[in-house]
Homo-oligomer: A and B are copies of this chain.
């Protein structure tokens, strides 16, 4: 299997190295062969090539079996014109690779729940998966432009039926593998796109009779995620609603630094990245928490390579290392031992061997 590594910016470089080491350990244990190629994206690509998404990077990804991405962005590039912003690299690669399904599993680690902003009895037991449409909707619709000499502006939330159908199918399939409960989030009391979304979810539901479906308005979902996060299993929603709700959900369990994500194409090809950002303040210091990146690599093994046992082993390793009291500086574990990026990676690798 050939994997393209896109370290990107900030702590991206450090955490991607950790993931690579963990994958090498898995390869050795299970007798697989993973080959790697490293390419530029984001701010560092702007510095080196004058664009956040060089064609060479796109080509390499298209020829790979999967892609791991660290993080993009940082204050250094914040003032650049928008086509040179690191985020454009991220949006661009998603679109180029047709990664329409963004999966964000959010599950608390019991040992870390004490760091949650929520009361323990509220958040305990929450285990949800947000399925966000990633290549359509408000973030990609055209026109997106100034008009009337700059006196007005317009963005467009556009979907085709096919685009909605494929993400809804994906979400139903995810629900079938979990607790079989799907919450479709929209604003069908106002938006025409949400009405079509809701119709398609209802149409599709007959194909998945084992899955219970519920519709929820986005404003009410934003409330319920906080008041009753355990009520959710799988949430499926439009790109921008998904952006907001998944980030909201990411802080509920108190361990943002632990959350992986997968962005999938229809054929199992995928790009995997941690939910956290590039953390420029600690970049290069060897302090970054590599676990979200390592867990993203586990998702890659599961979704792109169908290596369930290998994925599970990595997840068990993370769990066990936390249980042993090891943590990075972004986490607090009473009586635990604080490790840097490299030492944490060594712990995971040792568990695997």
Contacts and interface: CB of A to CB of B under 8 A. Distances in A.
A243 interface: yes
Interface string A302-328: 000000000000000000000000000
Contact of A87 (B119, B154, B156, B190): B190
Contact of A220 (B85, B139, B160, B247): B247
Copy tally for this chain in the complex stands at: 2
Interface in A114-168: 116-119, 122, 138-139, 141, 144-146, 148, 150-162
A22 B219 CA distance: 31
B155 A192 contact: yes
Interface stretch (A9-17, A221-229, A280-288, A345-353): A221-229
Contact of A118 (B119, B144, B192): B119
A251 interface: yes
Contact of A223 (B155, B160, B248): B248
Interface in A68-100: 82, 85, 87, 91
A44 interface: no
A contact face: mostly helix, strand, loop, or mixed = helix
Interface string A174-216: 0000000000000101111101100000000000000000000
Nearest to A229: B117
Interface of A: 82, 85, 87, 91, 116-119, 122, 138-139, 141, 144-146, 148, 150-162, 187, 189-193, 195-196, 218-220, 222-223, 225-227, 240-241, 243-248, 250-252, 256
